[in-house]
Amino acid sequence: MALFEVQGLTRRFLGVVAVDHVDLAVEAGQIVSLIGPNGSGKTTLFNCVTGYLAPDGGRVVFRGRDVTRLAPHRIARLGVGRTFQLVSVFPRLTALENLLTFLQQHQEENIAARLVRTRGVRRHEAQAIDRALALLESVGLSSRADALAGSLSYGQRKLLAFAAALMPDPDLLLLDEPAAAVNPTMINQMKEQIRGLHRQGKTVLLVEHNMDVVMDISERVVVLDHGQKIAEGAPEAIRRDPKVIEAYFGR
């Protein structure tokens, strides 16, 4: 059974069908890319499956459990991480604190224990700091650990957001245009990161416009156009698919 499954997902905005009966299945350990022209419904689909938008129809199943209409923080707690298309950090927290925030809810939920700072909570905090520093190192931000996230450059914030999504070690990671507006060196680094996740057996679903990245790292590509799935397959096959070429370049 697929780790993550979308069945007949539909979402309308004032009569415009943004996502139209889309089916999608992602097997555990796969890297799947979601591509399509602007406005084809990729981000809407992302927002529907992570709880940010309520779908008008269809189901979202994660690890055999129906998660349709669960609140975003509940879906996150089940082990689904995501990034946002527009750079998204907590500007008035430091880079390190940004990362720590992503792990603490997974480590314990007891607010009272947090208030009195029990031994267990302090141990969790120490573990979280170790992990956060290692992740900052891996995206080349160790020297900015104590800088306010709002003071980082656009590219650095993008890398920070990516590292933050990795903090709780999610089983499924949804990345919304991770390579957009990132310089070529960093893109290569990010591709390495995603491949690293793949080696650890993680599952990645990615929306991306950069075709080099898509063709290079994905095992399977799903193409959306006007909210509908028009093609699905291996990268080479998609590249030659006449329907895909038509959707991108017109007839």
Partner 1 sequence: MRPVRWTAGLLLLVAAPWIVTELVPNQQRYILHVLIFTALYGALALSYDLVVGHVGSLSLAHPAFFGIGAYGSALLGTEAGWPFALALPAGIALAALAALAVGVPMFRLTEHSFAMGTLGVALVTQIVATNWVDVTRGPLCVTGIPKPQVGALRIVTLPGFYWMALAAVALVALLYHALTTFRLGRAFHAVRDNEALAASAAVDPLKYRMLAFAIAAAVAGGVGALYVSYVGVLCPGELAVSLTVNLLVMIFLGGVGSLRGVLIGAAAFTALPELLRMAPTWRMVIYGLLLLVVVIRAPDGLDALLRRRVAASR
Residue nearer to partner 1 on the CB measure, 57 or 72: 72
- Binds partner 1 (CB under 8 A): choice among 4, 36, 60, 82: 82
**Minimal distance in Å, beta carbon 65 to partner 1?**
16
The helix/strand/coil state of 29 is coil
Binding mask 14-53 for partner 1 (x = CB under 8 A): ------------------------------------xxx-
Q: How far apart are CA 174 and CA 205, in angstroms?
A: 5
Angle (nearest 5°) at CA 144 between 141 and 145: 90
**Minimal distance in Å, beta carbon 149 to partner 1?**
9
- Binds partner 1 (CB under 8 A): choice among 72, 140, 155, 233: 72
Of the candidates 6, 5, 1, 31, which has an alpha carbon nearest to the alpha carbon of residue 201?
A: 31
Check if the beta carbon of residue 179 is closer than 8 Å to that of residue 213.
Answer: yes
Binding mask 155-194 for partner 1 (x = CB under 8 A): ------x--xx-xx--------------------------
Q: How far apart are CA 5 and CA 251, in angstroms?
A: 32
Total residue count of the chain as it appears in this document:
251
Residue 84, Ramachandran bin (φ over 0: left; ψ between -120 and 50: alpha; else beta): beta
- Binds partner 1 (CB under 8 A): choice among 89, 135, 194, 224: 89
- Provide the binding-site residues for partner 1, judged by CB under 8 A: 50-52, 71-73, 76-77, 81-84, 88-93, 97, 100-102, 104-106, 111, 114-117, 121, 125, 161, 164-165, 167-168
